[in-house]
Amino acid sequence: MFERVLLAVDGSKHSERAISVASELAQRFGSEVLVLNIREVVLTTRSGPIEKESLEESLSLVKKIAERLVRDGVNARGESSKVVQSGPAKEILDVAKEFEANLIVMGTRGHSELTGLLLGSVASKVLRHAECPVTVVR
């Protein structure tokens, strides 16, 4: 059913819960899991682009999570991706399509639907535009 699961993580307690859900689903369905962390880059006018998270931090996060999933018996690997202007939601959707994901799993802070729409949360955007099912974990 879910041969390929994209697990989008950001190191928050919400994505920590998503890891457990992805692990359980992957074990149940024998899924391959791609752990993805998006490194956002903020464009500034004078000093140039500033990364919110370094490549090393991002790779360390996905490696740690992928190793945890492998210990749980899941076929998993990690990937870091950098976005400048397109935003994390678009990058998650692009990676999901490239990976041919059957499911996207990600955490959310759990804002109300109205707040999510007003703030344009990443989870809300992924839910609206994904070509596959999305499991959002609070």
Return mean pLDDT, the chain. 88
pTM of the model: 0.89
pLDDT confidence of residue 132:
97
Q: What percent of the chain has pLDDT over 90?
A: 65
pLDDT band at 113 (very low <50, low <70, confident <90, very high): low
The CA distance from 83 to 58, in Å, is 13
The structural domains of the chain, ordered by start, are 4-137 (3.40.50.620)
Q: What is the pLDDT of residues 34-76, one digit of tens each?
A: 999 999 887 776 777 777 788 999 999 999 999 999 999 999 9
pLDDT confidence of residue 111:
52
Check pLDDT > 90 for residue 116: no
